[in-house]
């Protein structure tokens, strides 16, 4: 399961982006957090996610917080 860091996130629209460890940018859309129990994300927060391709862009699904 890929991991990344929250690059930006808009709480109102529930959209933003993540940076994967290889610096690839991944889109967050309102459905990215469905079923995860998450209500919002913080900049710099580490997450795991499923990676899908939609409309030619990489999108995160099933976000989970990375805990140490």
Split at pLDDT 50, 70, 90, the class of 68 is low
pLDDT tens-place string over residues 18-66: 999 999 999 998 888 877 777 889 999 999 999 999 999 999 999 998 8
Split at pLDDT 50, 70, 90, the class of 1 is confident
Domain ranges of the chain: 3-65
What architecture (CATH level 2) is domain 3-65?
A: Beta Barrel (2.40)
- How many helices (H) does the chain have, and how many strands (E)? 0, 5
Which pLDDT score is estimated for 33? 80
Which pLDDT score is estimated for 30? 86
Question: For the whole model, what pTM was predicted?
Answer: 0.86
Alpha-carbon dihedral sign for residues 34, 40, 6, 9: positive
């Amino acid at each position: 399961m890929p991991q990344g860091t929250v690059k930006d996130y808009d709480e109102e629209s529930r959209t933003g982006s993540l940076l994967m460890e290889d610096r690839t940018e991944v889109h967050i859309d309102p459905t990215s957090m469905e079923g995860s129990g998450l209500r919002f994300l913080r900049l710099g927060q580490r997450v795991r996610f499923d990676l899908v391709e939609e409309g030619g862009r990489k999108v995160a699904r099933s976000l989970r917080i990375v805990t140490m």
